[in-house]
């Protein structure tokens, strides 16, 4: 077991995922405070001083809140698309010039024994991406903040050993909830967020024999419930012949605490 994958936090209030090998340690996003990220890493027995990189998906605060402090305190390079860097601006403070790194969609980035591939996603930010990470012949993908599923997403998610996929909202809860209509329209739009049903249909379509574990993440605090997301997706999977709980495992990415650490 040489590769570890663990969502540290996942939800509308903050997102961060740890991926590491014996030699390399990275984060995908750091959307809670530096203090919280350090606490979550300590639970995994990972020293924040050993972090080699932070990869940012987009500039919304629930994905970048702790990035600036982490980078400054521990001298960590931060990777993002040019558009995301433009969106970040001075939101989370200044970065050392040497720690401002650029990634480009579909171009692989190598950090020691880990290869990271950003790919384009539809979301209402400047140049958002999701990431597939390759290490020790394993593929791990973090794909959230997705307005709708594109062919590009399908191609990049397919045959992931481990996948963190957005299941942001229950459509009826959202429609009948307290959000103002413009916000509901944004979430339901082509550059908004993925629903439970869409997550289930996507997993069903893209499930391969290689996929061992899927986390459902980035749940809305107002318009979803963990058990509802889980049961909705599980029902769709099993309707399409995917049995949950034996070879393939489905779990929820926790909002405020470390999720199950998957070792490959």
Of 20, 8, 5, 110, the residue nearest 65 (C-alpha): 8
pLDDT value of position 202? 95
pLDDT value of position 246? 80
Residue-wise pLDDT tens for the chain (264 aa)?
589 999 999 999 999 999 999 999 999 999 999 999 999 999 999 999 999 999 999 999 999 999 999 999 999 999 999 999 999 999 999 999 999 999 999 999 999 999 999 999 999 999 999 999 999 999 999 999 999 999 999 999 999 999 999 999 999 999 999 999 999 999 999 999 999 999 999 999 988 788 999 999 999 999 999 999 999 999 999 999 999 988 899 999 999 999 999 999
Q: What is the pTM of this model?
A: 0.96
201 and 166 in contact (C-beta within 8 Å)? no
Integer angstrom CA distances of residue 125 from 87, 228, 257: 8, 28, 27
Q: What share of the chain is helix, strand, coil (3-state, %, to 5)?
A: 30, 25, 40
For 137, residues 6+ apart whose C-beta sits below 8 A from its C-beta are: none
pLDDT value of position 1? 57
pLDDT value of position 209? 80
For 24, residues 6+ apart whose C-beta sits below 8 A from its C-beta are: 52, 111, 112, 113, 114, 135
pLDDT value of position 207? 84
């Amino acid at each position: 077991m040489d590769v570890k994958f663990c969502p540290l936090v996942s939800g509308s209030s903050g997102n961060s995922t740890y991926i590491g090998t014996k030699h390399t340690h990275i984060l995908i996003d750091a959307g809670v405070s530096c203090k919280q990220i350090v606490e979550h890493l300590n639970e995994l027995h990972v020293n924040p001083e050993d972090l080699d990189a932070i990869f940012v998906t987009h500039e919304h605060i629930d994905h970048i809140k702790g990035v600036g402090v982490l980078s400054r305190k521990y001298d960590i390079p931060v990777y993002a698309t040019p558009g995301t860097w433009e969106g970040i601006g001075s939101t989370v403070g200044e970065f050392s010039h040497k720690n401002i790194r650029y990634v480009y969609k579909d171009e692989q980035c190598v950090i020691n024994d880990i290869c990271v591939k950003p790919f384009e996603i539809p979301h209402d930010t400047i140049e958002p991406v999701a990431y597939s990470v390759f290490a020790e012949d394993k593929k791990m993908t973090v794909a959230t903040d997705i307005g709708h599923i594109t062919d590009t997403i399908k191609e990049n998610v397919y045959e992931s050993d481990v996948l963190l996929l957005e299941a942001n909202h229950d459509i009826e809860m959202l429609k009948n909830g307290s959000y103002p209509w413009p916000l509901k329209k944004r979430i339901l739009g082509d550059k908004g967020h993925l629903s439970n049903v869409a997550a289930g249909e996507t997993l069903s379509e893209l499930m391969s024999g290689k996929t061992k574990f899927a986390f459902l993440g980035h749940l809305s605090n107002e318009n979803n419930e963990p058990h509802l997301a889980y049961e909705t997706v599980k029902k769709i999977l099993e309707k399409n012949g995917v049995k949950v709980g034996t070879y393939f495992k489905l779990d929820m990415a926790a909002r405020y605490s470390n999720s199950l650490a998957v070792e490959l």
